[in-house]
Amino acid sequence: MTPAPPNAGGDLFAANLTGALLAVASSAFIGVSFIVKKKGLRRAGAAGTRAGVGGYGYLLEPLWWVGMVTMLIGEIANFVAYMFAPAVLVTPLGALSIIVSAVLAHFTLNEKLQRMGVLGCVLCIVGSTVIILHAPEEETPSSVTQIWHLATQPAFLCYAASALAVSLILMLHCAPRYGQTNIVVYVGICSVIGSLTVMSIKAVGIAIKLTIEGINQAGYFQTWLFATVSATCIIIQLVYLNKALDTFNTAVVSPIYYAMFTSLTILASAIMFKEWYGQSVSSIASEICGFLTVLTGTVVLHSTREHDPTLSSDLYTPLPPIYWHIQGNSETGGKQKEDDLLSAGDFVTVVRQDYFV
């Protein structure tokens, strides 16, 4: 993107501020939705097959739908934020949702927030402030065809092809084998697909904004193609995010998802929209330092949170005593004692099939 002319600086700063405020509001709603959805998933898992092993009982759980509506509100605010501000500004502010979820999890999910966790929250806020102050100012493309031109550049096509290839490998090969034990699988799918979601959503948002301003973009096939890509990617993200939340602790999912998703989104945005073009080295360095500060805060916050007791107690509930009857070689001709034998009622189920699907 070409840098804005000097006389447009005030308008671009106002647009960035609007985008930042919308991103903060979005983080608040999304942070709440993590907790509400988690409670809904727990209820659904207690009544049937867990989402982490392929169950869809959560679709009948009202609390999960409340979380979905809350997340939808947050995503709409985030969607509108991309109309006004660059992705390098909007995306890192998602860390604020981690603070919201951490505080609420402390009170509602019994996932304790330690004193060092408070320091992690402060680091996230400081880093987010640095990013806001040094965010690049970009001009809005004049049409969706201009965005299409950016999306079909060789550099971004290479990124998109690589992202699709990695996602397919994770979904088809890694998820069935390692999804229940390695958090990177589910979160990796969400993050890689998420970077493409942001690019397509930003394109759709700009098209809507231009249409509202009187420059109709509905007649271009690129607008509908970007919308289709957005919807497809969002559905994939929701499915695997539900699996990650149901399988692993919220304190683990949130920071890892943030770090991977934000890093890949900033990379994709830098390739497609060239948001750092025309910025000074000091401004770019400040943005990177701000992001690293936020990332450090998420790591500190995660490292001081307790593990989810529900999952571990569910998977590893202590079994009743198991008795063994051993018949020595010298007993081949003798009678077995009746109290040495196990009756049919003494046998216990050692494993449950749904944990190994």
22-72 residue pLDDT tens:
999 998 998 899 888 888 888 877 776 666 666 667 777 888 889 889 988
Which two three-digit tokens encode residue 272? Answer: 């497609």
Residue 227, Cα to own-chain centre: how many angstroms?
20
Burial 13-44 (b: 16+ CB within 10 A, else e): eebbeebbbbbbbbbbbbbbbbbbbbbbbbbb
CB 95 within 8 A of CB 258: yes
Q: How far apart are CA 112 and CA 250, in angstroms?
A: 12
What angle, 0 to 180 degrees and rounded to 10, lies between the N-to-C axes of helices 144-151 and 183-212?
150
Provide the residue count of the chain: 357
Work out the pLDDT band at 193, boundaries 50, 70, 90. Answer: very high
Residue 321 CA: distances (Å) to CA of 188, 248, 278, 347:
40, 29, 70, 10
pLDDT-derived band at 10 (thresholds 50, 70, 90) equals low
Residue 119 near residue 193, CB atoms below 8 Å: no
Neighbouring C-alpha atoms within 13 Å toward the C-beta of 166? 20
Q: How far apart are CA 156 and CA 3, in angstroms?
A: 20
Domain boundaries, the chain: 9-111, 119-305
Whether the pLDDT of residue 124 is over 80: the answer is: yes
Q: Which residue has the tokens 């009170």?
A: 107
Question: Comparing 160-174, 181-195, 291-305, which segment has the lowest mean pLDDT?
Answer: 291-305
- pLDDT value at residue 260: 85
Q: Which of 284, 280, 293, 239 is nearest to 266 (CA)?
A: 284
More confident residue, 334 or 264: 264
248, 251, 255, 256 alpha-carbon torsion, rounded to 10°? -20
pLDDT at res. 9:
58
DSSP states of 134-151 as a string? T---BPPPSSHHHHHHHH
Spatial separation of the C-alpha atoms in residues 337 and 327, rounded to whole Å: 10
pTM of the model: 0.67
The DSSP code sequence of 303-327 is: HTBPP-HHHHHHHSPPPPP------
% of the chain exceeding 70 in pLDDT: 78
**Predicted confidence band at 248 (pLDDT cuts at 50, 70, 90)?**
confident
pLDDT at 142 over 90: no
Report the pLDDT averaged over residues 338-351. 43
CA distances to 245, 287, 324, 333 from 327, in Å: 48, 72, 10, 11
Q: How confident is the model at residue 235 (pLDDT cuts 50, 70, 90)?
A: very high
